[in-house]
Amino acid sequence: MTRTTRITTLDLDTDRLATDLARAERFGYNDSYGEFICGSWRSCMLWNRTGDVDDRFLEDYAGPARSTEYGAALPYLTELMERHFLLEHLKFARIARLTPGSVLVPHRDYLELDADLTRIHLPLRTDELCSSSEDETIYRMRRGELWFLDATRAHSAASRSDRDRVHLILDFSTATPAEALRPGLPVSTGIPEDSLVARRPLRPGEYKHFEALADVIDETNYQDVLALVIKRYFEAELKAADVFRWLEGITRASGRPELVAQAARHEEHCLVSR
Ligand code: YCP
Ligand code: CO
């Protein structure tokens, strides 16, 4: 069973959202967490421990989050957050932009923290060519939908869109999403049928064709080969962990021990410990 849940759909004010998004276009975005990205996923902090936009990473801390200059420059998003959430439990709020053609390496969040957080997404600009995943489940988060993501499980995202996918991402200290939400919103659980993305079964010998990339892979295109495998995971029935199985198989077949070690370290960092 996936734990990811579409909580509810918000009725967004298109004009006010457009005003905030236009402002957010001019923010400075950072490339932190590049080891989880093939392509580009850039983010900026709206709320964090210090209120300083240069504190770009998730970290453990006590007490409530503070708004940064970017958070303060977005009145509509601030209002939405105040209306729907108990912000005393908020730890981080970010805007994240996934650029066309980019994919995330399957990973688990919060491994570097003492305590897990509760992750909420609100897509602000997206389309049908953007997908997300939890383990073997591929789904679409549509604009205006509030989603709880179990970011402690292996998850990923991919964009084949021709423009940036823009999401508001919130992290709360509560054990469950319900404890972070103000009472009153209709709350559902699970992923609705029409949000699921079907994949085809693997073709016989499909892995073997990828293994032939052993003749191509080197330190200059390691991330590109990984991107090919991740893109296949979004099309055909691989598990999130299979992405690394395939990558490791390709690196072993290449006969280059440094690439084998790189893939093993990368898997450890993304899925096991850091
Ligand atoms: C995060 N997950 O939420 C990570 C890093 C990709 C998505 C980048 O911080
Ligand atoms: Co993540």
Q: In the chain, pLDDT over 70 holds for what percent of residues? A: 100
At CA 262, angle to CA 261 and CA 265, rounded to 5? 85
pTM beyond 0.85:
yes
Q: State how far the Cα of 89 lies from the Cα of 222, in Å rounded to an integer.
A: 40
Q: What is the band of 184 on the pLDDT scale with cuts at 50, 70, 90? A: confident
Among the bound ligands, name the one nearest to the CA of residue 105.
Answer: 1
Residues framing ligand 1 (Cβ under 6 A): 33, 36, 41, 58, 104, 109
Q: How many whole angstroms from 57 Cα to the centroid of ligand 1?
A: 9
Q: How many whole angstroms from 86 Cα to the centroid of ligand 1?
A: 22
Among the bound ligands, name the one nearest to the CA of residue 33.
Answer: 1
Q: How many whole angstroms from 109 Cα to the centroid of ligand 1?
A: 6
Average pLDDT over residues 17-35: 97
- Report which ligand 1 atom has the smallest distance to the Cα of 119: 3
8 A C-beta contact, residue 93 and residue 65: yes
Ligand 1, atom 1, lies closest to the CA of 109
pLDDT, mean over the chain? 97
Q: What is the band of 272 on the pLDDT scale with cuts at 50, 70, 90? A: very high
Q: CB-based burial of residue 124 (10 Å sphere; 0-12 exposed, 13-18 middle, 19+ buried)?
A: buried
- Give, for 241, the enclosing helix (H) or strand (E): helix 240-254
What are the backbone angles phi and psi of residue 32, rounded to the nearest 5°?
Answer: -60, 155
| Residue whose C-alpha is closest to residue 177's, from 6, 30, 51 | 6
**C-alpha separations of 140 from 57, 132, 188 in Å:** 26, 6, 16
Q: Looking at this protein, which amino acid is placed at residue 164?
A: D
Is a pLDDT exceeding 90 seen at residue 187? no
Among the bound ligands, name the one nearest to the CA of residue 40.
Answer: 1
Q: How many whole angstroms from 82 Cα to the centroid of ligand 1?
A: 23
Q: How many whole angstroms from 169 Cα to the centroid of ligand 2?
A: 10
Tokens of 62: 């006590």
Ligand 1, atom 4, lies closest to the CA of 109
* SS3 state of residue 120: strand
Q: Looking at this protein, which amino acid is placed at residue 179?
A: E
